[in-house]
């Protein structure tokens, strides 16, 4: 799997959404509309949970090793009841 761009720019990718708040909210709204009513979803490319957390997605996979390490480091700072990343 090709993850080089995320391995090299994982923090920049996440920061882009923070700096472009209106775009982030727009994409969050679009993704929310695609989630089943029971919210039984699985996010591919869960990253730090930037989308998963507000959408109450509890499981995901992150193919980028550096993004996974970043996610694990963020866990103490995120308000999660249960979230599993593979």
**Is residue 55 included in any domain, yes or no?**
yes
- 3-state class (DSSP) for residue 64: coil
Contact 58, 84 (CB under 8 A): yes
Number of separate domains in the chain: 1
Q: pTM of the prediction?
A: 0.70
DSSP string, 9-49: HHHHHHHHHHHTHHHHHHHHHHHHHHS-TT----EES-TTS
Sequence-separated (6 or more) residues with CB below 8 Å from residue 20: none
**Is residue 62 included in any domain, yes or no?**
yes
Q: Which domain holds residue 55?
A: 42-86
pLDDT band (50, 70, 90) for residue 30: very high
Average pLDDT over residues 50-60: 85
**Is residue 13 included in any domain, yes or no?**
no
């Amino acid at each position: 799997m090709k993850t080089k761009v995320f391995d090299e720019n994982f923090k920049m990718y996440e920061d882009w959404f923070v700096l472009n708040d209106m775009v982030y909210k727009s994409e969050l709204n679009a993704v929310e509309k695609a989630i089943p009513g029971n919210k039984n979803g699985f996010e591919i490319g869960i990253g730090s949970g930037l989308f998963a957390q507000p959408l109450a997605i509890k499981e995901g996979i992150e193919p980028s090793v550096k993004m996974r390490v970043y996610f694990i480091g963020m866990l103490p700072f995120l308000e999660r009841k249960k979230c599993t990343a593979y």
